[in-house]
Amino acid sequence: MRGFKITFRGKDYYMACTSGSTGILVSNKENVMRLVCDAMDMEGNYLQWMTEDLHADDEIIISYEDFDESLLTSPLREKLVNDEASEKRFMLSIYQQQKEQLIEQGY
């Protein structure tokens, strides 16, 4: 299986989605830096592996690798977004969150 391995605070996280997209986002909201790792597959499943506040001197190592599926980290959160109306609402909420973050950062 191909996916991302993230090493954060001494722990390895293995994240992959067989058909869809995987996201690694660092945001700054209300002066709090946060690391979010999630995915959305083609069947409408939303997966979230990590959401962590960042601290000074935190080190994040990201690599794209082939790894055994048994190493895949269990998601902290899963949500099925399988109907068109729910998917549009969900995508709009993600868009709004990212838009707010970019505006706050001056973009």
DSSP string for 31-59: TEEEEEEEEEETTSEEEEEEEEE--TT--
Whole-prediction pTM value? 0.68
The string of pLDDT tens digits covering residues 4-46 is 999 999 999 999 888 888 889 998 888 889 999 998 888 778 8
- What's the pLDDT score for residue 81? 65
Q: Domain of 46?
A: 2-104
**Confidence band, pLDDT 50/70/90 cuts, at residue 82:** low
Q: Is 86's pLDDT higher than 80?
A: no
Task: Please give the average per-residue pLDDT across 68-92, as a whole number.
Answer: 79
Q: Per the structure, how many domains does the chain have?
A: 1
